[in-house]
Amino acid sequence: MARPEQGPELGKCALCLRPDVALQRSHLMPKGVYKRLRGSTGSTHPTRILEGRAVQTSAQTWAHLLCGDCEQRFNRLGEKWVLTHGLQQNQVTFPLLAKLLTMEPTEFDEGLDAWLLRPGKQEWFEPDALAYFAVSMIWRASVSDWGQPTVYPLKLGPYREDLRRFLLGDTAFPTRAYLSVCVRTPGPVSSLTYLPETMRQDGVTSHQFLIPGFFFILWLGGNLPEHLADGCLVAGKGHPMFVGSYLEDTFGRRVHKLRHQQPPDRSRRRTR
């Protein structure tokens, strides 16, 4: 449902909590990422998985959520680096992957079916920006229903406030959070995105999303398995990064299956 294009809407910013500020049109998926999804011609509508269905859509989900300062903060501390170093619009150029592939892989992760690399301190690598971006996406999905009340807001419990304070710069990355970042090698479903959603497996809760070039998994909880720390971009030795094509295979199959199962007219959603 389209909302009228009028002057700024005043309200409380969800991040800095300042009242009566002009709220921006905040997008669940940053505009820059969305543009990247549309491919080199700009005409291909990205495929998204929405409520278990694969849909091709040009719709962008937005809400009056953040003040201008906080929008810029998200851009400056996370999105900008991810967009500059991630998979580019031509769907081929991928600066971060090119650098990672110059490293000698020594560890293989069976769970993610991906190589685990530990870049450590490199001038081409900014784990802080990747972590900030991942947390900003998950947190954003937890503070509005985004017009999709059956999926959002994601329920983060007490961790939502931990993430907000981290994003605001008040605290370090939460100790009860582990983040795995997998770099997706380009494949037939490079433009597939998967907006943040919650998964529960073996008593462990994670929140995950896919954008071109990356798969992010954020685990939150008081009793997280120790091995997750070893693969955590923030807590693990050498700022671990996973690199693999397994996701392209798995999600490619899933999209193919979903497309052939669902009648297309059901994909019309209020996601403007």
Span near Zn ion by CB under 5 A; candidates 64-72, 159-167, 197-205, 242-250: 64-72
User: What's the CA gap between 175 and 67, in Å, rounded?
Assistant: 28
Span near Zn ion by CB under 5 A; candidates 6-14, 207-215, 224-232, 264-272: 6-14
Shortest distance in whole angstroms from residue 126 CB to Zn ion: 23
Contact with Zn ion (CB under 5 A) among 49, 63, 70, 156 = 70
User: What's the CA gap between 271 and 60, in Å, rounded?
Assistant: 6
Shortest distance in whole angstroms from residue 143 CB to Zn ion: 12
**The two structure tokens encoding residue 221:** 């909880």
**The two structure tokens encoding residue 219:** 């685990």
The DSSP secondary-structure symbol of 76 reads: I
Q: For 9, what's the count of Cα atoms within 13 Å in the CB-facing half-sphere?
A: 15
Is residue 193 within 8 Å of 210, Cβ to Cβ? yes
- Choose between 68 and 120: whose C-beta lies nearer to Zn ion: 68
Size of the residue set binding Zn ion (CB under 5 A): 5
Span near Zn ion by CB under 5 A; candidates 7-15, 49-57, 197-205, 251-259: 7-15
Q: What's the chain's length in residues?
A: 272
Q: What are phi and psi of 201, to 5 degrees?
A: -145, 130
Contact with Zn ion (CB under 5 A) among 29, 49, 63, 67 = 67
**By CB under 5 A, what part of segment 16-55 binds Zn ion?**
16
Residues of this chain that interact with Zn ion (CB under 5 A) are: 13, 15-16, 67, 70
